[in-house]
Structure 1
Amino acid sequence: MIALARYGAAAACVMATFLLAAAIGALLRREDGAAAFLATALLTVFGAGAVYLGLRNLTAQLDRLSSFALLLVLWLGLPLIAAFPIAATTPLTFAQAWFEAISAFTTTGGGSVHDISSLSRSTLGWLLTLQWTGGLLTLVGFVAVLGPAGVGGLPDHAERSHLLRRSGATSVSDAMRQVLPFYLGATAICTVMLYATGVGVFDALGLAGAALSTGSLMPDADGMAAYGPFAVKLVMMLFMLVGGTSILWHRMILSRRFRLALGQQENLGVVLVSLAIGILAAAGWYATPVGGQSLALALEDGLFTGIALVTTTAIEPHAGAFAALPLALVLAVVFVGGASFSSAGGIKMYRAAAMAVQASLELERLVHPNAVHPRRLGQQSISMQMMKAIWLCFGVACSMVAILTAAVAPAMPSFEAALVAVVAAISNAGPVYYADWSQTAVWPDWIALPAYAQIILALAMILGRLEILVVLGLAHFALWRR
């Protein structure tokens, strides 16, 4: 508990720093929200600082259980702090502001954040900062906690570190030292490249944060349609792929270990599936009565759509882009999501590929029943224990989708709307829900749903970021520890 409280207080102090930056921005722009941001920052610093200073001389280490509990506390607690200035600077109630904070922090994008034209610049900047921070917490959680624990059959970070000839240490501090420089550097490079294409500084920072965190919240209410040049889309596609592929894979590339990088088939699969979905979307728009676009424009929008869906960034290149694809295909793509050790949502491409490898071996066993074939995905060997964990994770995820869909269905106009909402929330790809799938009825905004439905969707967003098995494990320990 000591280590849990210490790390939680440190995270709250970081959140207070961001709040103070938002307050300074509001003061410089003479907006009304400066007092709310400043008051929240000061209260957070006093509370978290008192906890941290009171425990600074006590020695304690995070074990696996307390690491899981720390992730749960951060995903639940930090949005509560973030909701106060949102409620103070918008017409939303505190409950609605909390839902908005959850949507931004989990990089899902839901509620009314798709209608941002009426937000003050400081509030919008705060939501964009939450989105970027949520992507960072996702990466640190995978590298420090979920990967080493092998949750749901995830490849162990220590084994990947051995490939990189680096230490396999996976403490939170070590993970921050590994993740933060790359995440900051990639954000800065993306911002500079967007600025070079003619995008303003504020918008460039917001777009870069969305791409690296695979979030859908944009700094302009018109989305990508507000940024005309193809160069902007090209930069966004490149960095959405960076956000949707493994940070360990990026380290291999930067250290020029290209042979090892080529052996990481999961990340190559993310790129290839994005291309396949993009070409399929482009084929539907090219010279057809539905789209009628030129070949160049169809490929441009199609590839952007494919990358946005596979990485669960879920940013449409233009209105109605997702609805041009079959709904079942879109739901399957975002449910699988991007690579492990990335900021993308979904159950991860690694698990889907491992299940495909297992299915292929079982089919081959029908022809050669006595043949012995190793289970490998590129350079990663897959043990029977990992395979069991992967199938368990897949089964639990599907069961959770079914349970949450049944729970939220009474608040929806149709069962289809409930299913799409839950899959979009648990895959952290909120805009998929708003893609005009229904031709007969308008689906309600998440922020307009009853309170119980908002709580269900908020929990689904957190489950998608935290890995469902972690929550079930904590619940099992809490109920059966005695």
Structure 2
Amino acid sequence: MIAVAQKGALGAGALALFLLFSGAVGLIRHEVASVAFLLTALLTVFGAGALHLATRNRSARLGRLSSYGLLTLFWFGASVIAAIPVDATTSLGFVDAWFEAICALTTTGGGGIHAVADVPRATLVWLLSLQWLGGLLTLIGAVAVLAPAGVGGLPDRISGLPEQGISEGTAFFEDAIETVVPVYAGVTMLCMIALFAAGLDGFNAFGMATAAVSTGGLLPDADGMAAYGTMPVKLVMSFFMLAGGTSILWHRMIATRRFRQAFTQRENVSVVVLVIILGILVSAIRYQTPEGRLSLPVALEDGLFTAVSLVTTTGIELHAGDFTSLPLTVVLLIIFMGGASFSTSGGIKLHRVGAMVLQSLMELNRLVMPHAVRPRQLGRQTVPLQAMKAVWVCFVVATVTLGFLAAAIAPAMPSFDAAYVAAMSAMTNAGPVYGAGWEAGTVWPEWGALPAYAKLLLGTGMVLGRLEIVVVLGLVHAALWRR
């Protein structure tokens, strides 16, 4: 617990810096809301400082179980702290403020903050910053804890990437920060510069960059992409959403000119190929509609943007009804699969999908050649039997959890279809997919209009989607604690 307290204090300190940033924005704009952010930052710094002073002279290492506990503390604890200034600066109650904060932190989007009258700019900057922080926390958790532990059959970043310079078996957050933060921050800065060059002002470039790089669904303008729908902005957003949906370690390979090794990473190449195939399909649908034909370049732009948005689980629509041009089953399947491992996208990740397909093909081949010996390989990466079992366990647990979540919120929904889509959108962190308008003649309630229990369940589902439900099961497993 000492190590958890030490790292928790550092995380709270980092959160306080972003609270101060939001408060500074409010001060510059002469907003009264800045006081709430500054006071929350001071209280957070006070608590983090007290925890640091109490534990600074005590050495401790993070074990596997304590690392799981630290991740869980980060996700739930940060959301509670984040809700305090949202509650103080808007007309929302604390539960609604927490729901907005958790939607932003998990990069799910789909909250109703734009529907709240007179939202201070400082509050919007805070939620956009939370979105960016949530993407960073997702990457650090995957690189530092989940992958080294093999949670759900995730590939080990060390065995697959020996050039990274991180000692084998290391699960310390410091190593993950050194690996992730420079690349993540650098990609964000490049996105902001590109959006600024495309004609956006500083605030909108910042907000759009946080959405693209973190594959989050919250945009700075209430009109969504319709407010920025020029071709340069669409292309920049598509490129950086795709960057967010592919492995950050893959980005390091490309940045260090290890192109040959980068092209052997089948999972990331598969994300790009899937985007191209789906983009062409959506473009063909949009090219000729009952309302008339779009020009081919516009159809291709819109189709590729929609494909990137779905595959990376960003969930941003260019125009109302873009997602509904595809069958609902196809959309749910795409967001359930998600993007690549070590990315900010949601879903179970294409690595797991590829492993399940590989095992299924091997079982079919065994029917024909029972004594054949074939290696379990995805590209150049060997998938051991233990990892294959973990993949299937993760898949089963995710689907069962999804079913329970949908059944639990069903009483608050007009139909079970609405409940299932809401549960899927929450657990895959693709919130805007729920509000795309899937059921003709029936208006599904916005998440902000749901009863408190449904918001609490959906918010928990969002965190489970980011944290990996297997980790939560491990934390509550009494036998694991006894070890």
User: Same fold by TM (over 0.5)?
Assistant: yes
Cα 1:116/1:157, change in 2 over 3 Å: farther
How much has 1:440 moved relative to structure 2?
A: 2.1
Tell me the distance in 1 between the aligned counterparts of 2:330 and 2:118: 34
8 Å contact from structure 1 (residues 285, 291) kept in 2 = no
> Which amino acid in 1 is paired with 2:179?
Q
What does residue 302 of structure 1 align with?
303
How big is the shift at 1:296?
A: 1.5
Instruction: Give, in angstroms, the shift of residue 439 of structure 1.
Output: 1.0
Per the TM alignment, residue 325 of structure 1 is displaced from its structure 2 partner at its CA by 0.8
Q: CA RMSD in A?
A: 1.4
In structure 1, what is the equivalent of residue 385 of structure 2? 384
Q: Is the 8 A contact 2:475 2:481 kept in 1?
A: no
Partner of 1:457: 458
Do the aligned partners of 2:474 and 2:480 also contact (CA within 8 Å) in 1?
Answer: no
Letter of the 2:211 partner, please give it: A
Q: Which residue of 2 aligns with 1:176?
A: 177
Quick one: which amino acid aligns to residue 231 of structure 2?
Answer: F
State the Cα deviation string for residues 254-302 of structure 1 (Å, max 9, x = none). 1222121111100011111111111111111112316632221111111
Q: Kindly indicate whether the alpha-carbon contact (under 8 Å) linking 2:246 and 2:340 is maintained by their aligned counterparts in 1.
A: yes
Are 1:209 and 2:210 an aligned pair?
yes
Deviates more, 1:35-44 or 1:66-75: 35-44
- Specify the alignment match of 1:73 in structure 2: 73
CA deviation string 1:359-403 (max 9, x = no partner): 122222222222211111111101111111101100110101111
- Whether the aligned pair in 1 keeps the contact of 2:109 and 2:217 (CA below 8 Å) is yes
Structure 1 residues 478, 25: closer, same or farther in 2, change over 3 A?
farther
In structure 2, how many angstroms separate the alpha carbons of the residues matched to 1:149 and 1:388?
14
Letter in 1 for 2:87: A
- Taking the aligned partners of 1:321 and 1:436, their CA distance within structure 2 comes to 10
Match of 1:370 in 2: 371
1:197 corresponds to which residue? Answer: 198
| AA aligned opposite 1:46 | F
How far apart, in 2, do the equivalents of 1:399 and 1:342 lie? 24
- 1:8 matched residue in structure 2: 8
Secondary structure, in 3 states, of the residue corresponding to 2:205? Answer: helix
- Which residues of 2 match residues 216-365 of structure 1 at below 5 A? 216-289=217-290, 292-365=293-366
Aligned to 2:104: 104
Look up the equivalent residue of 2:299 and give its one-letter code.
Answer: A
Contact 1:322–1:330, Cα closer than 8 Å, also in 2: yes
1:127 aligned residue: 127
Asked whether the 8 Å contact 2:110–2:217 carries over to 1, the reply is: no
Residues in 1 aligned to 2:161 and 2:384: alpha-carbon distance in whole angstroms: 19
SS in 2 for 1:371: coil
Contact 1:335–1:347 at 8 Å: present in 2 too? Answer: yes
The C-alpha deviation readout for 1:222-257, integer Å capped at 9, x for no partner, is 111111321111111111111101111111111222
Structure 2 unaligned blocks of 5 or more: none
Residue 111 of structure 1 and its aligned partner are, at CA, apart by 2.6
- The aligned residue for residue 25 of structure 2 is 25
Output the CA distance in 2 between the equivalents of 1:228 and 1:21: 29
Which residues of 2 match residues 88-167 of structure 1 at below 5 A? 88-113=88-113, 115=115, 118-164=118-164, 166-167=166-167
Contact 1:224 1:318 in 2 (8 A): yes
Per-residue displacement from partner, 1:27-51 (whole Å, max 9, x unpaired)? Answer: 1101120111111111111111111
Q: Give the distance between the partners of 1:187 and 1:198, measured in 2 at CA.
A: 17
CA distance in 2, matches of 1:250, 1:449: 40
Preserved contact between residue 215 and residue 241 of structure 2 (Cα < 8 Å): yes
Contact 1:68 1:470 in 2 (8 A): yes
Structure 2 counterpart of 1:353, one-letter code: G
Q: Which moved more, 1:439-448 or 1:69-78?
A: 439-448
Unpaired runs of at least 5, structure 1: none
Judge conservation of contact 1:327–1:437 (CA < 8 Å) in 2: yes
What amino acid sits opposite 2:392 in the alignment? Answer: W
Q: Distance in 1 between matches of 2:329 and 2:276?
A: 18
Q: Distance in 1 between matches of 2:50 and 2:319?
A: 48
Q: CA deviation at 1:447?
A: 1.3
- How many Å separate the matches in 1 of 2:243 and 2:416? 35
Paired with 1:15 and 1:385, the residues of 2 have a C-alpha distance of: 37
Determine if contact 1:112/1:446 at 8 Å carries over to the other structure. Answer: yes
Structure 1 residue 82, shift from structure 2 partner: 0.7
**Secondary structure, in 3 states, of the residue corresponding to 2:175?**
helix
Alpha-carbon offset, residue 415 of structure 1: 0.2
TM, length-normalised to structure 1? 0.97
Distance 1:443 1:355 in 2: 34
Code of the residue aligned with 2:246 in structure 1: it is: T
Instruction: Report the secondary structure of 1:434's partner residue.
Output: helix
Query: What is the CA–CA distance in structure 2 between the aligned matches of 1:205 and 1:288, rounded to whole Å?
Result: 35
C-alpha contact (below 8 Å) 2:166/2:175 kept by paired residues: no
Mapping for residues 435-446 of structure 1, pairs under 5 Å: 435-446=436-447
Residue 415 of structure 1 corresponds to: 416
1:198 Cα shift?
A: 0.6
Counterpart contact for 1:117–1:221, Cα < 8 Å: no
Deviation at 1:106, TM superposition (A): 0.2
Alpha carbons 1:83, 1:97 under 8 Å: kept: yes
In 2, distance between residues paired with 1:270 and 1:116? 36
Report the 3-state secondary structure (helix = DSSP H, G, I; strand = E; otherwise coil) of the residue aligned with 2:27: helix
Rounded Cα–Cα distance in structure 2 between residues aligned with 1:410 and 1:321: 28
- Given the superposition, is the C-alpha separation of residues 109 and 211 from structure 1 closer, same or farther in structure 2, using an over 3 Å criterion? same
The residue type equivalent to 1:183 in the other structure is Y
* Larger displacement relative to structure 2 (300-309 or 154-163): 154-163
Q: Which residue in the other structure is 1:430 paired with?
A: 431
Shift of 1:161: 3.2
Give how far 1:53 is off.
1.5
Matches of 1:388 and 1:232, distance apart in 2 = 43
Greater Cα shift, 343-352 or 364-373: 364-373
CA distance in 1, matches of 2:474, 2:243: 31
Name the SS of the counterpart of 1:136 in structure 2.
Answer: helix
Q: How far does residue 117 in structure 1 lie from its aligned partner after superposition?
A: 7.2
Deviates most, 287-296 or 241-250: 287-296
Q: Percent identity?
A: 57
- Find the aligned partners of 1:32 and 1:133 in 2 and give their Cα distance: 25
Letter in 2 for 1:141: G
Deviation digits for residues 184-211 of structure 1 (CA, Å, limit 9, x no counterpart): 1110011001101111111111111111
Deviates more, 1:166-175 or 1:293-302: 166-175
Distance in 1 of aligned mates of 2:474 and 2:30 = 48
**Structure 1 residues 291, 145: CA separation in 2 closer, same or farther (over 3 Å shift)?**
farther
Measured after TM superposition, the shift of residue 164 of structure 1 is: 4.1
